Each structure stands twice: as structure tokens, then as C-alpha cells.
Chain A
Amino acid sequence: MSETRTGSVTNFDAWKHAYAARAANLSVSEVRALFSVVSRPEVVSLAGGMPDVSALDGELIEQAFRSLMSNRRNYALQYGGGQGDLRLREQIQEIMALDGVHGSVEDLMITTGSQHALELLADLFLDQGDVVLVEAPSYVGAVGIFRHKEAHIEHVYTDDDGISPEALAEAADRLIEQGKKVKLLYLVPNFANPSGVTLTAERRAQVLEVCRERGILIIEDNPYGLLYFDQKPPAAMRSMDAEGVVYLGSFSKILSPGLRVGYVLAPPAIREKLVLANESAILSPATFAQMMVSEYLSLTDWQGQIDTYRKLYATKRDAALEALAQYLPRVKTTHPQGGFFLWLTLPDGLNSKEMLPLAVNELVAYTPGTAFYGDGRGANNIRVCFSHPTAENVKVGIKRLSNVVNLQLDLLDTFGAKD
């Protein structure tokens, strides 16, 4: 028998044996690669949850920058404290008050976007297998963090009025009965990402009660609360319970995500640990970005800018709903009263992830519903983000999306291959 040749072998990852077990949850996917086309101008992206920063008055930003360079240059270019700049925290108090939230500057901490606050909280509270209750569907960035912490993600029934308190109590009790540690409830009560729904005032009180009775800490993530269209959402849950709620806010949607400035308001004991964790992770939040936000808030009519955003996004929401009624009448959609998102439910059998290649051909991008679940659900859902394209392009995008849906329906009809 002839000799078999032997040669060198490689897998291009010399440290594969050394990763922590949780690193197995960090892996790129083909779906992510398909998203690469969104950077092409020909493609209408209904995918990323991006604000329309072109509607931000550039003069206001330049004004803030000039002031910063003239008056606080050395401070802005230096390290800062782990808790964040005091003046900015005082200004954040004013912003939170618009949502009915009042808290001490001592209990506020600045973070690198609210995503960072969520990461710190997850790290602080979650051991492997601990339960996090979330809406169904839930924010993709939160699902990613909780998955990375190897938590048990439990989606709780959510309808047009937000998360169901009855389903929440049932899920918590069931899991506690199973011996699991139910630690956190994470939710976006206002114009939720991805569903766009808002938790009613009545349910907010009930949810607080359910969690209080069971010792479950609530993380209330509120990046969209000020971006209502007609009517303010109910007061924040944190306004009703200072001990049981950790409140997250962000400048990403009302100013600019490029600055990466968010904040967290937490009960003192939690806040103390958060500051230490923040210092351990990043020493201090970016001083320059904090100072830019602070100057912007002190020098400009920032509330007027938020009014501009509200009107703009309402127009885009209307364009999206109009186009959906025209081009995709069989598709069910939520009707958000603020924020960035619509949540679509496609006809039975369609799988939004599997039809993404068709979307590339049709020059439209969207986010498949499965991204917003930790348990594989959401196959026949799509998140549509209407905030970034122009209203006209929102309509074009939805028309193209209708082509994708129809092509896939045609294929499934041909092959009888519905799930």
C-alpha cells in the first residue's frame, strides 16, 4: 500500500483550546455577512436602529465644540472620574425629570452608551443559568449580553399593551418552582425595540408588584421615551419604585450615537458596585464625549431638537404604515406611538432569515425576527426600522420588501415547503 502523505494542519485559531466556555456564544454568522450590503447607497436599510442624525442641526454641535475647546479644553482631554462628570449628571437629572424620574446625582453614573450599563449590570447580577425575564420579542443587544453571560433567557408573553403581568408572574413562579434563580426583568417600556409597543400605566404598576413580591430587580431601559409622536408615554416605572428599578437612559437617540454617552440610575448599593465595575472595565467614561454632551445641553435648545425629531419620525412612521397597507396588506404590523420600530408578522410559513438573500437582490435590508429571541422564535417576524431612511425611501424599502415576501411566497407555494 502506498504511503499517505502527512503535512501541516492549521485551523487559523491557535488559541481555540484556550477560550472561556462563554466565548462559544461569540461567533459571526452568514446573516451578519449579508448585512454588509447596507453600506451601499443603492440599498434601503430598514435594518439598523439608527437615528437620522442628518436632522440634527450641525451648527449646534459646532457651537458646543467651540465652547468646549475655548473653556474646558484641558479638562475634556484628561482622564475623568469613574462615575462620570458631575455637571453632566446634574443635567441628566433634568432630562430624566421629563419622564417623571427623580434621583440623586450621587446615584447616577455615566456609561459608554446604555449598552455598557446593561453589560455591567449583567456582569454584576448573573451567574451561569440565572434567569432573566424579557419581553417577547426583546432588544437584540440585551439578548446578546444575557446569552454571553450564559443566563437563562425567558421571554414573557407581550401584546400591544406591553409585557403581560399575569404571564410574568406565571413564568417567574414556574422557574422559581424549578429551583432557578430569577434575578432580573429587562424591558423597554416605551416604544420598545423591536416591537414598538408601550407598556400601559396600569400594567406598569402590576409589573412592579409582581417583581417586588418575588424579589426580581427590574432594568428599565428607556432610550425612546422622549421620542413620542402625539402623547407622552406613562411615567417611567422608576418614578414609582426607587429601590426595585435600575433605570437606563441614553443620548444615542436624542442626540448622537457616535458620542456613546448613556447613563444609569441605580439604588445606592448597586450604584456603588457599578462605579467600581465601571472603573475596572474602562477607568472612566470618555471625558471628551461627556463634555460635548454637557456643552450641547447647556448652550442649545435641545428640547427643540427633540421636537424636530418627534415630528420627523412621526412622518416616517406614517410613511411606513401607509406603504405596508398598500404593498403588504396581508402582513400584520404594530402601530407605535413613538420610537423607531415596527414589528411585522408575516404570513404563516415564511421565514424572514431564510429570505434575506432575496432582500440583497431587491436592494433592501431588514432584521429577521429571530434576532430578538434567545430561543429561536421570531422566524416569521421582521423588525422594520423607519427612523433612518427618508420618508420616501421608507416607502421604497417597503415596496422592495413586498417583492421579497412575494418571491418567497411563490417559492414556498411551488415547493410546498412551508415550515
Chain B
Amino acid sequence: MQPTILVLAGGISHERDVSLKSGRRVADALTDAGAAVDMREPDSELFGHLLATRPDVVWSTLHGSVGEDGSLQDLLRLARIPFVGSDADGARLAWNKPAAKIILKRHGVQTPDSITLPKSTFRELNAEAVLALVATEMSFPLIVKPAKSGSAQGVSKVENAKAFAKAMVDAFVYCDQVLIEKFIEGTELAISVVDLGFGPRALPAVEVEPNSGAFGYQERYVPGETNYYVPARLRPADLERAAEVALLAHNALRLRHLSRIDIIVDNEGTPWFLEANVTPGMTETSLFPQAVVADGESLPDAYLSIALAALRS
């Protein structure tokens, strides 16, 4: 008998639109695989509905804090409803980019030098002086991004002091903490990891080459704006090292079932960990489904396997 699966999508977040698209794609694939699928938004009725209907598995494609900061995962655990994806601790660590970087660094993984600053620091101290200090010590170019956010929203590459303050404002409208990271020149990879209960496995790396040079929101979700190479145009040894880092990140952050690890491989072949995603995008242009297809599986089969793994765990 095929499982009943509730796909959660939408919610109130900056990535609501992406989440709805992801949710529909996942629901379609699971339906094609023969599962009994229902899709709904999180709202005041959600847990009443869940407790009344008790689906076999919940698959959340909620992006943003509503689905990735660990709270939903904690509540599903309390409700004793199996769900796809990382548990609350893993989600919390991955959602908090600075925390994830610290953990990976402790495991000996290269991650760009960075500093994380809350809004209050700039209010209390002189913002101009703080930015000048950061610029002097870290030197441009820098990547400025919200410490907790997705889909490259609020992310800027800062080339000079003049653009620094604006980049900070653009990031702070998404999150009260901002991560300022040293820019690493290299090849941008997304490595999806799947664990069906037999240990995590890295899928083929997807290399992104955005037309504009920056893999921003538009480049992620508008067809035609980015070239994706699978497998990536790198030496096999470099790809193997990157895959090792992806698996290490998945394990170190204690992620479950599926994740997507974003990495830059520099010109010497060193992989640099950027961030981990516990709810990777599943839209028509997203990286996770590309990796699944490149791995030789159909999306319905792969997604059903993941759902069944969640049911078993």
C-alpha cells in the first residue's frame, strides 16, 4: 500500500513563491509515483488537521524560517508524525549560516573567513568605523548576506567601500544578523546529498554559471538566466574532494534524508564550504532535482524513496 503524504508549502516568508513551486513539483512527482498526496499551507488549522488525519509522512517544502529554523521539525516530532528532512537540531544549525560555518571549520573544512554582526552592533558603535575596520582587515571583494535566509535574497558582492553600507541595509531588511564573508574566486557547485537510511550519498555536483555573473534570485528561478553543468567542469579529483566536503557537512550538521551543500572550488582545487540547505528548492530550475536526474533516477522514484526512508526512520 502506498503511503499518504502531506506536502507543506507556502507560508509567510520571503520565499513563499519558491516554496509553493517546490511543493507542487514534489507533490506531482509523489503522485506520479503512486502515493496519496495532499498539499496544504501552514495555518492555524495545520496541527489539528495533522492530528486528525495522521498522514504517513509530512514533506515540508517550506522555505525561510517557518520551515527551516527547526520549530516545525520540533512540533512534528512532538506530534509523532514522521517527516522528510533534518530534525530540529540539524535544521537549526544549517539555517544559522555562521553556526554551520563554525562547525565545519572545527571539522577541518575550509570556509571563507567571515564576521557576523547584528544590527545592534552598528547602532551602538559607529557604523562607518565598524565597516571601515572590516574592510581594512578583510579587504574587498566581500560577500554580504543575511545570516539566516535563502534563495540569495539580500546577498551582495561588495567590491568597494562605497557599496558597503547599501549592501548592509539590503541584507538587514531580511534578517537582524548579517554575515560578511571573504569572496572566494572559483567554480560554484551545489552538491545534493541523499540518505535513504544506508548512509549519506553525494549526487553528481551541479555547476552553476549565471549569465550575470552572480547567482541571485533571478538567476535561480528564471529559466534561461543560468547555465547548469552536470557533471561540473572540474577535474575528477577536485569533484571528489568537493563531494567529501558535502558528505562531511551533511554528517557534521547531523542532517537527515536530503540536503544541498553549496561549495566553491577555488582555482587550486580546494573546496570551500558556503552553506547547507535542509529544504533545498525543488522548482523546475532547482539544483536538487537536477542532481537526482543526473544520478540516473526519475524524480517520482527518488522522491518516493526519500519519503519511504522518512517513514522508516
Chain A residues engaging chain B, CB cutoff 8 angstroms? 2-13, 16, 27-30, 32-34, 36-37, 40, 42-43, 354-358, 360, 363, 408, 410-412, 414-417
Residues of B within 8 A of A42 (CB): 12
The answer to whether A9 and B228 have CB atoms under 8 Å apart is yes
- Provide the bound-state CA to CA distance between A10 and B257, in Å: 27
Verify if B227 is at the interface (C-beta below 8 Å from A): yes
A9 smallest CB distance to B (angstroms): 5
B12 CB contact (under 8 Å) in A9, A16, A360, A408: A360
- Provide the bound-state CA to CA distance between A410 and B17, in Å: 28
The answer to whether A412 and B228 have CB atoms under 8 Å apart is no
The answer to whether B18 and A33 have CB atoms under 8 Å apart is yes
Residues of A within 8 A of B1 (CB): none
25 A-B residue pairings within 8 Å (CB atoms): A2-B236, A2-B237, A4-B234, A4-B235, A5-B235, A10-B228, A10-B290, A11-B226, A13-B224, A16-B223, A33-B16, A33-B217, A36-B16, A37-B12, A40-B10, A40-B12, A42-B12, A354-B169, A357-B154, A414-B119, A414-B123, A415-B165, A415-B166, A416-B165, A417-B168
- Provide the bound-state CA to CA distance between A148 and B188, in Å: 34
B222 CB contact (under 8 Å) in A9, A28, A43, A355: A28
B229 smallest CB distance to A (angstroms): 5
Known: A4-B234, A7-B232, A13-B223. A416 touches B127 (CB 8 A): yes
Instruction: Choose among B154, B230, B237 the residue with the greatest number of A CB atoms under 10 Å from its CB.
Output: B230
Residues of A within 8 A of B15 (CB): 33
Known: A5-B234, A7-B232, A12-B284. A27 touches B17 (CB 8 A): no
Residues of B within 8 A of A13 (CB): 223-224
A345 smallest CB distance to B (angstroms): 20
Q: Which of B170-178, B273-281, B296-304 contacts A (4 or more CB under 8 A)?
A: B170-178
The answer to whether B173 and A354 have CB atoms under 8 Å apart is yes
The answer to whether B233 and A417 have CB atoms under 8 Å apart is no
User: Given known contacts A32-B17, A33-B217, what 15 new A-B pairs fall within 8 Å (CB)?
Assistant: A5-B233, A7-B233, A9-B227, A9-B229, A30-B217, A33-B15, A33-B16, A42-B12, A356-B173, A360-B13, A363-B12, A408-B169, A415-B131, A415-B168, A415-B169
Q: What residue in chain B is nearest A415 (Cβ atoms)?
A: B165
The answer to whether B12 and A34 have CB atoms under 8 Å apart is no
Residues of A within 8 A of B24 (CB): none
Known: A12-B284, A354-B170. A414 touches B127 (CB 8 A): yes
A271 smallest CB distance to B (angstroms): 39
- Provide the bound-state CA to CA distance between A43 and B43, in Å: 13
Residues of A within 8 A of B47 (CB): none
- Provide the bound-state CA to CA distance between A146 and B304, in Å: 47
The answer to whether A8 and B234 have CB atoms under 8 Å apart is no
B110-141 Cβ-contact flags toward A at 8 Å (1 or 0) = 00000000010011000110010000000000
Known: A7-B233, A354-B173. A29 touches B218 (CB 8 A): yes
A235 smallest CB distance to B (angstroms): 44
Interface hits, B198-256 → A, CB 8 Å: 204, 217-218, 221-237, 239
The answer to whether A7 and B236 have CB atoms under 8 Å apart is no
The answer to whether B20 and A8 have CB atoms under 8 Å apart is no
- Provide the bound-state CA to CA distance between A28 and B283, in Å: 15
Residues of A within 8 A of B13 (CB): 37, 360
- Provide the bound-state CA to CA distance between A363 and B225, in Å: 31
Residues of B within 8 A of A410 (CB): 123
Verify if B285 is at the interface (C-beta below 8 Å from A): yes
Verify if B14 is at the interface (C-beta below 8 Å from A): yes
B165 CB contact (under 8 Å) in A28, A356, A358, A417: A417
Known: A37-B16, A355-B173. A12 touches B165 (CB 8 A): no
The answer to whether B231 and A5 have CB atoms under 8 Å apart is yes
B243 smallest CB distance to A (angstroms): 13
Residues of B within 8 A of A32 (CB): 17
Residues of A within 8 A of B169 (CB): 354, 408, 411-412, 415, 417
- Provide the bound-state CA to CA distance between A16 and B225, in Å: 9
The answer to whether B234 and A411 have CB atoms under 8 Å apart is no
A36 CB contact (under 8 Å) in B20, B165, B236: B20
A401 smallest CB distance to B (angstroms): 14
The answer to whether B236 and A11 have CB atoms under 8 Å apart is no
The answer to whether A415 and B127 have CB atoms under 8 Å apart is yes
Known: A9-B229, A11-B228, A416-B127. A43 touches B165 (CB 8 A): no
B108 smallest CB distance to A (angstroms): 24
The answer to whether A16 and B228 have CB atoms under 8 Å apart is no
9 closest A-B pairs by beta carbon, nearest first, are A13-B224, A12-B223, A36-B17, A13-B223, A33-B17, A417-B165, A415-B165, A7-B231, A16-B224
Q: What residue in chain B is nearest A10 (Cβ atoms)?
A: B228
- Provide the bound-state CA to CA distance between A16 and B227, in Å: 12
Verify if B153 is at the interface (C-beta below 8 Å from A): yes
Residues of B within 8 A of A12 (CB): 223-224, 228, 284-285
The answer to whether A8 and B230 have CB atoms under 8 Å apart is yes
The answer to whether B222 and A357 have CB atoms under 8 Å apart is no
Residues of B within 8 A of A357 (CB): 14, 153-154, 173-174
B55 smallest CB distance to A (angstroms): 23
- Provide the bound-state CA to CA distance between A370 and B69, in Å: 34
Residues of B within 8 A of A28 (CB): 218, 221-222
- Provide the bound-state CA to CA distance between A414 and B225, in Å: 35
B236 smallest CB distance to A (angstroms): 6
A135 smallest CB distance to B (angstroms): 29
Residues of B within 8 A of A354 (CB): 169-170, 173
- Provide the bound-state CA to CA distance between A34 and B13, in Å: 8
B291 smallest CB distance to A (angstroms): 12
Residues of B within 8 A of A411 (CB): 119, 169, 172-173
